[in-house]
Amino acid sequence: MERSDLKSRLAPALMLLGLVLAGVVCRVYFRGIPNFMPVAGMAFCRVFFPLAVAGVLVPLAIMAGSDLFLAGYQWQMRIVVYGAMLLPVLFGGLLKNCVPIEGRDADENGTPSPLPSPPRERGSLIAIATGLIGCSLASSVLFFLITNFAWWPWSSMYEKNLAGLLHCYAARLPFFKYTLAGDLFFASVLFGGYAAVMSLRTSEKPAVSLAK
């Protein structure tokens, strides 16, 4: 196997491993801030990888790895939380419409490439910001609604009627701001870091002369 082939095979795995390790460290480090997690932001990496499985593996691996160091909770809620954390993977597909990605989805043999693709062109900052904010907000709202709806019948704090459900949501509303802040912060860092690296990469490329 040639060195270039080996590098092309290892690069995606190393990138995914780096995202998972960074996500685990950040979630454990910020554990003192309720619901301030990097998982949703990391799940948006689906934008950079043609294979959807990459977006699925990252949030699940981050949650499983960080839960080893954090206080446990009921397995029923764990399933719900893990499932809700996969929703940003779907939004990652939508973000592709806002973040232009160069078509490097297949090699000369037609085989899909798992490598992230550099930007084809600079997308509108407004479109990118709107996409990030919209997807982060939708992810945060759905996570809030789903997890608290699942917690309501298990908790003895709330009555098992509509008033009790609304009480559950109202009581958890102060934590929503941390969920939204975490999603926005880590998604912005991920996309901002990617844009900075690509900008540096583009600036380092030598100019191509059109003269014959």
pLDDT tens, residue by residue, 119-159? 444 445 677 777 778 888 888 999 999 999 999 998 888 99
Q: What residue ranges do the domains of the chain occupy? A: 3-202
Residue 24 has a pLDDT of 93
Give pLDDT, residue 111. 47
Q: With bands split at pLDDT 50, 70 and 90, how would you rate the model's confidence at 53?
A: confident
Which tokens belong to 57? 């593996």
Lowest mean pLDDT across 35-39, 86-90, 201-205? 201-205
Read off the pLDDT of residues 72-111 as tens digits, 9 standing for 90 and up.
777 788 899 998 888 877 776 666 666 555 444 444 444 4
Contact 49, 114 (CB under 8 A): yes
The residue-averaged pLDDT of 181-185 equals 89
- State the Cα–Cα distance between residues 8 and 14, nearest whole angstrom: 10
Q: How far is CA 181 from CA 18, 38, 90, in A?
A: 22, 10, 20
In angstroms, what CA-CA distances link 159 with 145, 169, 196, 204?
17, 12, 50, 62
pLDDT for the residue numbered 103: 44
CATH code reported for the domain at 3-202: 1.10.1760
Mean model confidence pLDDT for the chain: 76
Per-residue pLDDT at 110: 46
Which of 40-49, 68-77, 201-210 shows the lowest mean pLDDT across its residues?
Answer: 201-210
